[in-house]
Amino acid sequence: MTPADMETRIVRYGDLQPCKTAFIDAHTPGSNQKENFTIIGGGVSESPDQHVHISIPHGFNIGAAGQPPRVTNSLHDHHTAEAFFVLSGKWRFFWGRWGDAGEVTLEEGDIFNIPTGIFRGFENIGTDYGMIMAILGGDDAGGGVMWAPQVIENAAEHGLILGENGKLYDTKRQQKLPEGISPMPLMSEEELAKRAEPTTAEVLPNHVARYWDLVALADKKPAKVIGEHGLLRDKPGFEIDFITRGSATEAKHSHPFPSVLMPMRGHWKVRWDGGAVTLAPGDTMSVPENLPHSAVPSMTGEASLYHVVATGDPAGPSWKV
């Protein structure tokens, strides 16, 4: 591949195109300033306004959420595993039917493999605009988003209706549900009763990894963060490694499935036969399957990188709490 070819598979942080109308809570006070980004894959946006940067199937989706301080992403769930790492800012993640079963505060570089089967939300509790990066299993993003009933009810009070087809209709724009399309039904009490309400003590040990612990673990070789034999054991259709200066190598390697490089700190030089590029924090690079490549820090100072690789396993629920 030429450098020009590879640039089509790189999304620079400064080129990210946000969508402020991606989900049902786009008008709800407290959530109406959040921005959503679909970087790789179709994503789970309910709005036609969402821009998709790279549509090539990878076996997983890469997205991001950017929010000013004290802005909240409403309680929701997915059918497939979802992992977040904090690119910038300080974030509170909370979960449960009403968001009060448990919570954890994550800072820059921390990663959270959120169990499926529980409603989850997050809030920027920092002092500036913050960004979290998301990895969601499956090419079809698990078939969309499941919202806590109160989120759908609150949204309707502010003009947004979610159709059973997974699309949003904004009554403030004089939009109506198409003929034959009913509103998305609320989960029944029976369905809600089946959903887990794990405590913080039950979730943290097997689902959260802290940045500085990963830096220490990856001092000699990459740390397997999420995977069948990872620090956070799971088999969601992808694996996530964490690489630092000490564990990076000039030796080229390849994967039978597409992989993604996501620098957390420092600048990284990626080389392959035919070219080289430099990535900065917040950039996302899709590496084609079977392409030998290497990634090493290109400058002195702190350097870390998350590396996501498809495994070919079917996407599905995360392993239970």
- Tell me, yes or no, whether 319 lies in a domain: no
Answering whether pTM is above 0.95, one says no
Residue 25 contacts residue 151 (beta carbons within 8 Å): yes
Mean pLDDT on 26-50 = 82
Mean pLDDT for the chain overall: 93
Q: Residue 63 forms beta bridges with which residues?
A: 38, 134
Q: What pLDDT is attached to residue 214?
A: 98
Q: Is the same domain home to 200 and 219?
A: no
Domain boundary among 208, 234, 262: 208
Q: Is the same domain home to 235 and 183?
A: no
pLDDT at residue 72 greater than cutoff 70: yes
pLDDT at residue 141 greater than cutoff 80: no
Residue for token digits 């929010």?
67
Mean pLDDT on 238-261 = 97
pLDDT at residue 201 greater than cutoff 80: yes
CA distance 117 to 244: 33
pLDDT at residue 49 greater than cutoff 60: yes
CA distance 21 to 5: 31
Residue 100 CB-density burial (10 A; 0-12 exposed, 13-18 middle, 19+ buried): exposed
Percent of the chain with pLDDT over 90: 77
Q: What pLDDT is attached to residue 317?
A: 83
Residue pLDDT, tens place only, 93-138: 999 999 999 999 999 999 999 999 999 999 999 999 999 999 999 9
pLDDT at residue 314 greater than cutoff 90: no
CA distance 21 to 33: 9
- Tell me, yes or no, whether 97 lies in a domain: yes
CATH of the domain at 44: 2.60.120.10
Mean pLDDT on 79-94 = 96
**Which region holds residue 32: left if phi is over 0, alpha if psi is between -120 and 50, else beta?**
alpha
Domain extent for 174: 3-208
